[in-house]
Structures are given as C-alpha cells and as structure tokens.
Structure 1
C-alpha cells in the first residue's frame, strides 16, 4: 500500500472527521425538495456566507422561507460542541462494531442481528426501516430487501459503506465485497451498487494520486452497464468538458428527473460533481457537495470521508474539526459520547489485520 502506520492512522482519522464534518454541514438543509441548490445559495447570500468556508451560519430573525431542520441549533457555526446525532454517522459506528465482533467474514444475517440488538427502530428510515420491520417479522435476506420495500434503490446502503473502505485501504475489491454483503439486507440493484462504489472509492482514495483516479478505480467494482456507472461517468464527462459546476448540476438534475431527492442516482451525481469540482480541496469539496442539494447531510458526509482520506486529518482546516471536540453523539447502543479519535484508532486496528 505504501503508507506508514502513522500515515494510515492520519488518513483514517481524516475519513472519520471528514464524514462527521460533512454531515454536520449538510444537516440543517437536509430536505431536497425544499432546499434546492438555488435556495441553499439564497440562504448563504442572506447570511453573507458565500463562498462557504465554514459550517452554516444560524438563521437571522427575518429568515422567513429559510427554516432549517429542527436540529439546526446543534450544527451551525458558533453552536457546535461535538457531533449532532445522525444516521450517517450511526451506520459507520455500527459497521465498525460489526467488524470488531463478527470479523470480515460476517454474513448479511449477522448485519440484521446487530441492527436488532444495537439500533433503535425509530432511528432508521426508508429502506432500512422496511428491512428492520421485515427482520422483526421473521423474514431473512434477501426478502428483507424486497418485501414491501419501495426504497430499494435509495441512498441508504451507500451511507453505510464508509467503514468497509476505511478498513480496506488500497483494496477497493475487498471494500466493495464487504459493502455488498451489508447492502443486500435492505437494497437491490443500484442501491447495492451505490454502496459498493462508495466503499471502493474510499478504499482507492488511500493510494490514488487524486480523486479523479479514485473515481475511475471505484467504477471498476460495479457493472459498467448499470445506471449508477453511467451516471458517474456522465458527471465525469461534464467536468472534463469544462462545463461550469452550476451548469453541470442543472444537466444532472435533468438527467435524473423524477427519481426523488433520496434516490441513489441523483445523489451519486451531486457527490461526484462535488468531489471533482472540489479539486482536492477539503473545504471546497464538502461545500460544493452540500450546495448541490438533495440529501445534503449524506452527500456531505461521503464527500468529507473521501476528501478526508485523500488529505489526512492533519490537513483538514481547523474550523471543521475543532468544533467537533472529539465527541460523537450516536443512537447506537453503547456508543453515545464516543471519541472520534478512539473510533479511528479502532478502525486502524482493523485495517492493519492480515486478511
């Protein structure tokens, strides 16, 4: 792989820190049918926050029409002390616990068992909630993903994939395989491919010279004919043609129209655009990704994870990491109040195990 132990530890801590920071940046505006890119930028202009280089500002008293999510007091600049609880971080923690307790040979059935043991039902959403209900009713995979589940290709499995990339540095094939075993509990088709692609992307980021290379490497792990692969390649083509970021977003929105703001395809497009147009700069990457709208906290989290692995924790600007105070809030039983540094150290131990 070519990384020293210290470099690997810094990259993994960068992934954790980046994921949490990106999630916190996007959380106040997570409502894609209301917080469109134009509406997000209007809020940023109202609060004098363009260019976006820090967490979102709190809303001014006269911000009618710009109501943030109820959790906003815990995740806007000047008010953050530790992470706000969110499923985008819960699943990274749960995945870490899965690998620590079940090992890298875990089964999809064991993923489900761990959900029932550690994850509150009301902290699951869309496909995950359906799968949880199916588990509780006695169904097993693959029926947990297919029975009465209209969310099979939504973004949920993708947001669970990071830990498989962090623990497979430089090995996108293994990362994708692990992510697939987790994803099929709740998703099918492009929903599963999204998880495989994200895990492979993060694994590739440990050794890739740039994000463009990591994206290409990750595409090798999903079917080339899939809609997800075509969407990502289409985004890359727009970037390489010199199309401005805002025009790229508009074109991607037209290509994925009608799928909804939580479907994996439009979100993968926004995420890919943020990574490419961010051009390796951590702040620019998560800012553009969140300004792209849709599932802003999930996309911000994955963009932050990739960018954090690429640059390492030491290179993440302090305005992102310092307010987190090394503290994670989580709904996963036994992990509320965990330390980010400790979670990263535990991830490093897994990443250095001999396969």
Structure 2
C-alpha cells in the first residue's frame, strides 16, 4: 500500500515502516537511558553531569556508564544494573513502554472509535494495579470502585496534571503520521481517564509531536505543529514557546534550562509543564540527531526516563530505525519486557509491524 496521508504520498512503505520501528526502538532506548537517574529531586541536571564527568562519559553518546563509585550506585534506581552499558540484554520493563504496548492493543481491539470507558476496561483487564503510579493509580482505583470518566480523573487524584498521560500518547502519533490533530484527538480521549488540564494537553501535544515528526522538515517545525493542537493560553503552550524563544536567542542549552527551571519552580519534577520544557530543549538543541537529542533530554533531569522515552520516540521517527546508531539498538536484542498481560517477551520488530498494519488499516499511511 502506498501512503496516502497528507505529506506522506511520496513515502515508500519501507520508509514508513522503518520510521515506526525507529519510534519503538527510540522510545525503549531513551527510557532505558534515563531510568537509572529517574528521581528529579535527587538526580538534578548538575548531579547527572557530575556522574558523567566522574565516569569520563561526556559527551554522552551511549547508555549511562557503570557508576564510578558505590556512593553514586547507591543513589541510582535499583534497575540500573539492567540499564547501563555492558549489562543490557533486552529491554527493561517500565510503564513508559507498557502504555505504548497497551495503546497498540487498545487500537487493535477497538479501532479509532474507542471510548474512554474502553481504555479503563482494558487497564483493568491487562494492566496490574501495582505497575501503575500517581494519576494512573488513582484512576485505576476509581475504576475498580465503580466510578466512570471523568470522575476517574478527578476524584481523590492530586496528580491530574502530572506527566502520566503524556507518556501514553506515542502510539496515537505512530498510527496517524502527518495528522497531528487526529493524533491529538485520540490522545485526549485516552488522557481524560486520569488527567485534566495541562495533563491532558501534554498528551495531546506529545501525540501531535510524534505525528508531525513523520512529515516535518525540522524539530522546530514539528514543535510548531504540535503547539497548534493545544490552547495557546495554557501554561504548557506558554512554556514550550518560552523554551523555543530562548533557543532562538542563541542561549546555550544550559542557560535555557536554567531560565525555564526558575520560571517553573514549585511545580515538582513529575509535573507535565517543566518536563515539556526539558523535552522541548532536548529536541531543539538535539537538532534532529538521535544521540544528541536523547542525551541532552536525559541530562536535563526531572522525569528522565519518561522524557528520554518521548525524545527517543520523536528522534527515532524523524531519522528512522536504520539511522539510529547501533549502540542504542543492538543491546535491546529485539526483546521487550512488559507488565501488560500477554505481551512480555514480545519482539520489538513485531510490535512495530503491527503498528504499521494498524495504521494502514485505519487509512493513515
């Protein structure tokens, strides 16, 4: 089938498939890069770079190195042993990847016409409660207690604007290439199960960003397209525009992040808004290079594994799987670990192929 979506009519099947595979591989690799230092109040940008300097790993061009001391090792997440150079044999299990798997299963099961209620039903059927966190755990508990959307997002849930819905959005971009508004619409339907406000806008923005990566000539063009799907007055839109303007003024990456960190202080390290700033800076200063994009995004701190995953997905789509340097993809061994029932041990290439088939079935490419 020749792609027929706007802007994709000249994209051969193999190129589209390679870019979808790039999205999957990039998401997994970026997630694993950031996973050991995922705890924003402990692993600040300065501390991450100190670790890398001590390990003689700057510039960062591969997964994190072995911790240079027991003191550093003790501060890392316990999963670090499966995520650092030389120790990786297949992907680590993580919710940032579980939700991509679950989103694929959602679209295979219900198609584009899925409802928010069906998202919740699939969570209860396929996703273990103890593998949910923050807003998702609150929504899961509300579902189990018989509440329906939108109450599942609002009742006893202090995390409504955190990053959880954003990390669930990639599959809607992968299956709607070059159609950011359609991708955002699907992401919104998923997000309102657990989030409100900027939490929902973050999911819409991320889905549109991934969708736009298939057709946009530059990261900045994709960011501009993604901004069009969320309210211009929202705090999320304002911080993305602010970060882009600092990049345009030729500030260094460090200066840009220091500026926006001061302007978003107090929101917390898992809130959507400051993490969107880190992501925006990573994409702009990464300038389309896969390694530089994921490395800068993770070095930016905050929710490192989630940001690394989204940045990797974006850069993987932008450049395609064949252009991702092998140090990122070969250790994954085409194997996925997942808490989603029925998917543990799946081949990454198979999931990507199913994503391509789903997009073709829906008439996206």
TM range (shorter): over 0.9
**1:27-78 Cα deviation digits (max 9, x unpaired):** 0000000000000000001111100000001113443586210000000000
Would the aligned equivalents of 2:67 and 2:73 in 1 still touch at CA under 8 Å? Answer: no
Does the Cα contact within 8 Å between 2:18 and 2:320 map onto a contact in 1?
Answer: yes
Aligned residue among 303, 314, 339 for 2:322? 314
2:115 corresponds, among 107, 122, 128, to 107
| Residue-pair matches, total | 355
Q: State the partner residue of 2:279.
A: 271
The correspondence for 2:44, drawn from 8, 11, 36, is 36
Q: Structure 1: which 4+ aligned runs deviate by more than 6 Å? A: none
Matches within 5 A, 1:160-239: 160-239=168-247
Q: Could you say which residue in structure 2 is the equivalent of 1:52?
A: 60
Q: How far, CA to CA, are the matches of 1:160 and 1:143 in structure 2?
A: 19
User: Is 1:8–2:20 an aligned residue pair?
Assistant: no
Summarize deviations over 1:79-122 as a string: whole Å, max 9, x none.
Answer: 00110000000000000000001111000000000000000000
SS for the counterpart of 1:307 is helix
1:319 deviates by: 0.2
Contact 2:112 2:362 in 1 (8 A): no
1:66 and 1:289, CA in 2 relative to 1: closer, same or farther beyond 3 A? Answer: farther
Write out aligned runs for 1:291-310 (5 A).
291-310=299-318
Q: Which blocks of at least 5 consecutive residues in structure 2 are unaligned?
A: 1-7
Matched, 1:116 2:101: no
The 8 Å contact of residues 43 and 66 in structure 1, kept in 2 or not, is answered as no
What secondary structure sits across from 1:328 in the alignment?
Answer: coil
Structure 1 residues 26 and 64: alpha-carbon distance in aligned structure 2, compared to 1, 3 A threshold: closer
Query: CA RMSD, aligned part only?
Result: 0.9
Q: Structure 1 residues 204, 64: closer, same or farther in 2, change over 3 A?
A: closer
> Is the alpha carbon distance of 1:308 and 1:64 closer, same or farther for their aligned partners in structure 2, counting shifts above 3 Å?
closer
Q: CA deviation at 1:293?
A: 0.1
Displacement of 1:353 = 2.0
Q: TM-score, normalised by structure 2?
A: 0.96
- Between the aligned partners of 1:354 and 1:246, the Cα distance in structure 2 is 42
Instruction: Tell me the TM-score normalized by structure 1.
Output: 0.99
Secondary structure at the aligned position of 1:337 is classed as coil
Judged with a 3 Å threshold, the aligned counterparts in structure 2 of structure 1 residues 352 and 36 are, in CA distance, closer, same or farther, namely same
Measured after TM superposition, the shift of residue 352 of structure 1 is 1.2
Question: What SS does the corresponding residue of 1:103 show, helix, strand or coil?
Answer: helix
Q: Is the 8 A contact 1:179 1:196 kept in 2?
A: yes
Corresponding residue for residue 4 of structure 2: none
Deviations 1:152-174 (A, max 9, x none): 00000000000000000011011
